[in-house]
Amino acid sequence: MQHTIVMTGASRGIGRIAAEHILRRSPDTHLLVVARGSSGARLAAELAAGGPTVSYVPADLGSLESVRSAATGIRDRLDSGELPPLRGFVGNAGAQYTDALTEGPDGFESTFTVNVLANHLFVRMLQDRFAAPARIVITTSDTHFGDFRHNLGMVPGPVWKSPDLLARTGAFPRPGSAAAGRTAYSTSKLAVIHLVHEYARRLPAGIDAVAYNPGFVPGTGLARNAGPASRFAMRYILPVTALTPFATGRNAAGRFLADVVLGATRAPTGSYVDRGRADRSSEESYDERREGELWEAVERFTAEHAARTDGAFPDGATGGSPR
């Protein structure tokens, strides 16, 4: 039966590879890609070459108003029957900045906006349009472990604080430094796992939420906001690490993501999938008090935008629970 999967971050890297796998392996999928500006039309045309059904909606994930507009457009197209039933959302887009001082139009720090709030607003506004069985997959990172084994010393570990601080610029020491920008990144990816646990508790049965970790994938566009030296290393030097157990090649990481989206990887709601299998995330990531605090904060941060919809999350737990 035809169905719709909404996907961010499909234009390059592991997202592009995953999108191609999804379309090839699930011919009944209508893939709706979310992309900035005119790039969406080009991406949809390229992915649709050969027959798959692909469309796009424009959005700047650094702007909550832009995300709201995109989600509203998707709801309208679902309601009119232009799109088949919604069975999936893939929040694969991510951002990392060279400091912790980049502020978006809503007044929030940009890493937190793209990696946390944009995904939450999409889920918040689409949750009552999912047709079970459905799956939400949000890409996280093993930098959330904060140890050498998982990040080879390249990214500082997360530094958790009140979400009201994490959502604003200057949350970390020396906020103008690259180290602060990377700390903002690893902390936002820890927040993703916390929210996936909360979705598992709150979403209705039949709508699963999973966090996917591709591992360290050199040669992607994640460092596009970094300085020249870091961009050069990510593009030309670090890709050789894909030949070692410390990294994952783009093709493998994209295939693993498609496996999670399509249900080929066994992962109950609330799971953390490390490459090709469900596993435990960091011990720090299992903290119900912190998860509840984060939930309350992101609901508050996005309330102005999410209020312009007739959907709402249930107040109590109705779905599954984290592993």
pLDDT of 323 reads: 47
Instruction: Tell me: pLDDT of 319 over 80.
Output: no
1-58 tens-digit pLDDT: 899 999 999 999 999 999 999 999 999 999 999 999 889 999 999 999 988 899 999 9
pLDDT of 307 reads: 80
Question: pTM, whole model, 2 decimals?
Answer: 0.89
The CA–CA distances, whole Å, from 262 to 32, 257, 265, 275, 295 equal 15, 9, 8, 14, 27
pLDDT of 237 reads: 46
Backbone region of residue 225 per phi and psi (left: phi > 0; alpha: psi in -120 to 50; beta: other values): alpha
pLDDT of 301 reads: 98
Beta strands of 3-156 (E only): which ranges? Answer: 3-8, 29-35, 53-58, 86-91, 130-139
**For 258-284, what is the mean pLDDT?**
97
Query: ω into residue 175 within 30 of 0, thus cis?
Result: no
pLDDT of 245 reads: 56
What letter does residue 87 receive in the DSSP assignment? E
Instruction: Tell me: pLDDT of 230 over 60.
Output: no
Residue 304 and residue 188: Cα distance in Å, rounded?
22
Lowest pLDDT segment from 172-186, 226-240, 262-276: 226-240
Residues paired with residue 272 on neighbouring β-strands, in sequence order: 211, 279
Instruction: Tell me: pLDDT of 224 over 80.
Output: no
pLDDT of 154 reads: 75
pLDDT of 59 reads: 97
69-99 tens-digit pLDDT: 999 999 999 999 999 999 999 999 999 999 9
Instruction: Tell me: pLDDT of 229 over 70.
Output: no
**For 192-201, what is the mean pLDDT?**
98
- DSSP for 241-310 reads GGGSTT---HHHHHHHHHHHHHT-S---TT-EEETTEEE---GGG--HHHHHHHHHHHHHHHHHHHTSSS
pLDDT of 37 reads: 85
Quote the distance between the C-alpha of residue 258 and its chain's center: 14
| pLDDT-derived band at 155, boundaries 50, 70, 90 | confident
| pLDDT-derived band at 151, boundaries 50, 70, 90 | confident
Please name the amino acid found at residue 290.
R
pLDDT of 318 reads: 46
283-304 tens-digit pLDDT: 999 999 999 999 999 999 999 9
Sheet holding 207-213, edge to edge: 53-58, 29-35, 3-8, 86-91, 130-139, 207-213, 272-274, 277-279
**For 253-273, what is the mean pLDDT?**
97
108-120 tens-digit pLDDT: 999 999 999 999 9
Average pLDDT, the chain: 89
State what percent of residues in the chain have pLDDT above 90: 78
State what percent of residues in the chain have pLDDT above 70: 85
pLDDT of 222 reads: 45
**Residue 263: HSE in the Cβ half-sphere, 13 Å Cα cutoff:** 12
The answer to whether the beta carbons of residues 312 and 128 sit under 8 Å apart is: yes
Instruction: Tell me: pLDDT of 157 over 80.
Output: yes
